Chains A and B, each alone.
Chain A
Amino acid sequence: MTKKITLKINGAEHTMEVEPRMLLVHAIRENASLTGTHIGCDTSSCGACTILIDGKSAKSCTVLAVQADGKEIATVEGLATAEGLHPIQEGFHLNHALHCGFCTPGMMMRAIELLEKNPNPTEDEIRWGIAGNLCRCTGYNNIVSAIQWTSAKMQGKELPSTEPKFV
């Protein structure tokens, strides 16, 4: 038996008829054709599928599409506006916080909730905060720098250097 649901993704309403077993990540990628949200492990482990549901970061491979009926969903496609990149995108760009980019959409969506709850996190808080997102390329240091840079930017503070650090 299918169900009719409406997902508000990045402000736009998507009404669709889905089987209750359809995962939210599939509804986003296949029904709404927004493929910026990735599927890495499909077992709730890697965080590549992280999106925001009503502002809370979620692994969309472990949520049913029907559970998100009527909810506000934010994906990476909604970050940049006509004015330019979102500060987290700018932070990742300037700090070389990605190599292959597979983890990046999920990593940024997670970082957005982290900074929303804790605008000025310590390095330790950032590392615990992204514990559910795996990156197989960067070694995380530049991701941490990017989140620190974005934290400064969003609070109008002096911006840290984006010169590559060799550690």
Chain B
Amino acid sequence: MIAENFNYEAPSTLEEAISLLHEYGDEAKILAGGHSLIPMMKLRFAAPTHLIDINNIPGLSYVKEEGGMLKIGAMTKEVEVEDSEIIKSKYHLFTDATKLIADPQVRNFGTLGGNLAHGDAANDHPAVMFALGASVEITGKDGKRTVPIDDFFHGFYTTSVQHGEVLTEIQIPAASGRFGSAYHKAERKVGDYATAGVAAMVQIDEDGKCTRAGIGLTNVNSIPMRAARSEEVLIGSDLSESVINQAALFASEDCNPSEDLRGNVEYKRHLVKIITKRMLNKAISRAK
């Protein structure tokens, strides 16, 4: 399958990329890892006339903790997240999620920024970002702005990244104290998109009380979503079994899956309930 023809440019600075994106407007698309965009162009679901490859721009790929934040450069590849010592030591849900995203070859290319900017509810990182309470830094002609993940996804393949803008950084409140997180998705085969997936995060104080909680859901709503009612019952609770059961039930009630080849609505709601329960228990056990 061959994509429609396009012009290709690979600028070496962010300013240049932004000015090219302005010049071409909605005819242009950013090329990051290309592992969502190129398949879509081959199927001719997308036919941009200009591709702006941002891989030659230095400084967009890193994982670091700074000023109470975990910061991930938009061009950081899945494999770099997988291999990061900071991630492996504290942010276990990334390790859980990356292992289940596609396969090693795809993870050598796919970027975290691309995974979010693609705006697909089937992708796994959106749920991770909801669970962690992330914000996304977007850079345009007039500088940078920061958008909370709750306001980022607008609809099918649409996000708050406007034409002429580049998603540059993911910002996450750093793990502190007794912090634990976990991610799992049910998939038909290794590397498949989720039938249903759940990301969970909890922070617990010395008395065993939950001070922060986050739950994000994958592929059970038209856009990536937070299980807000579930979080409410968790925060301030003692995370007892009955609280966890209630949170899992709320997540399964509040999601809005549609029937497809991966399963029917009832089955997907059931998966959300079971996986939420398991991921909460896993996150709690990791919150040492």
Contacts and interface: CB of A to CB of B under 8 A. Distances in A.
Interface string B189-200: 011000000000
A136 B83 CA distance: 31
Nearest to A50: B105
A131 B38 contact: no
A3 B51 CA distance: 13
Given A44-B39, A64-B34, A67-B34, A21 B105 contact: no
B4 A67 contact: no
B105 A58 contact: yes
The 8 closest A-B pairs by CB, nearest first: A132-B103, A20-B8, A131-B190, A21-B3, A131-B103, A132-B105, A56-B108, A59-B105
Contact of A21 (B6, B34, B79, B103): B6
Interface residues of B, number: 30
A131 B104 contact: yes
A21 B5 contact: yes
- Pick from B5, B8, B38, B105 the residue with the most CB of A within 10 Å: B105
B8 A128 contact: no
A128 B99 contact: yes
Dominant secondary structure of chain A at its interface with chain B: mixed
Interface of B: 1-8, 10, 31, 34-35, 38-39, 41-42, 51, 53, 55, 79, 99, 102-106, 108-109, 190-191
Interface of A: 1, 3, 19-23, 42-44, 47, 50, 56-59, 62-64, 66-67, 110, 113-114, 128-129, 131-133
A88 to B, nearest CB: 16
